[in-house]
Amino acid sequence: MADDKKIVLTIEGYKKAQEELEHLKVVRRKEVTQKIKEARSQGDLSENAEYDAAKEEQAEIEARIAQLDNMLRNAEVITVDKMNSDHVSLGNKVILFDEEFQEEVTYTIVGSAEADPAKGKISNESPLGIALIGHITGDIVDVDAPDGVIKYKVLNIE
């Protein structure tokens, strides 16, 4: 497995991952340990659904902790001094004009670990992210999409 692959994160994304990891280790581990303890006190574990559910929850928490540990260990944090507002790069907020729908849209270019299109955070590895990287204000960008080519005009880069 590619555990040594650098994971690109913004400062905000790095802090969020640290906070989630801390919460899982300090709060959630204790909660699920208590659930297991209570389920054990009910007797026969072979037919104890609460015990099985708590053990499954524990496994999910431990898997997420391992994932976050790996992510933070291999993180490459994009800082303000690494960003460039002359051309689109990781960490930039980009205001675009969608020529098909005649509307402005705003996206922040982030690493794939932080991507959340519903919140306007798109991966640098997504079709739109790939198409935008390197462009400057005023450029028309063609993005290959399943329904055909979508045209965006870069209005501003922050």
The per-residue pLDDT of the chain, averaged, comes to 91
Residue 57 lies in a domain: yes
pLDDT value, residue 48: 83
Angle between helices 11-23 and 49-73 (to 10 degrees): 150
The two most distant CA atoms of the chain are separated, in Å, by 69
Owning domain of residue 146: 83-157
In a shared domain, residues 51 and 96? no
Number of folded domains that form the chain: 2
Q: Is the pLDDT of residue 88 over 60?
A: yes
Q: Is the pLDDT of residue 2 over 60?
A: no
Dihedral-angle region of residue 110 (phi above 0 means left; psi in -120 to 50 means alpha; beta otherwise): beta
Q: The domain spanning residue 50 has which CATH number?
A: 1.10.287.180
Residue 90 lies in a domain: yes
Q: Are 85 and 157 in contact (CB under 8 A)?
A: yes
**Token pair listed for 47:** 């037919």
Mean pLDDT of the 12-19 span? 94
**Token pair listed for 56:** 């499954």
Q: Is the pLDDT of residue 1 over 50?
A: no
Angle between helices 49-73 and 29-40 (to 10 degrees): 160
In a shared domain, residues 60 and 88? no
Residue 1 lies in a domain: no
Residue 2 lies in a domain: no
In a shared domain, residues 27 and 74? yes
- 87 forms bridges with which residues in the sheet? 136
pLDDT value, residue 39: 87
> What confidence tens digit (pLDDT) does each residue in 131-142 have?
999 999 999 999
Residue 40 lies in a domain: yes
Residue 50 lies in a domain: yes
The confidence band for 83, taking pLDDT boundaries of 50, 70 and 90, is low
Alpha-carbon distance of 14 to 133, in angstroms, equals 21
Q: Is the pLDDT of residue 28 over 90?
A: yes
Alpha-carbon distance of 94 to 46, in angstroms, equals 55
In a shared domain, residues 24 and 60? yes
Residue 25 lies in a domain: yes
Q: Is the pLDDT of residue 79 over 80?
A: no
Mean pLDDT of the 79-107 span? 87
Residue 55 lies in a domain: yes
In a shared domain, residues 24 and 87? no
Q: The domain spanning residue 94 has which CATH number?
A: 3.10.50.30
Q: Is the pLDDT of residue 84 over 90?
A: no
> What confidence tens digit (pLDDT) does each residue in 95-126 have?
999 999 999 999 999 999 999 999 999 999 99
Alpha-carbon distance of 107 to 119, in angstroms, equals 8
CA distances from 65 to 17, 69, 100, 135 (A): 10, 6, 42, 37
In a shared domain, residues 104 and 137? yes
In a shared domain, residues 121 and 63? no
This prediction has a pTM of 0.76
In a shared domain, residues 147 and 96? yes
pLDDT value, residue 81: 62
Q: Is the pLDDT of residue 75 over 90?
A: yes
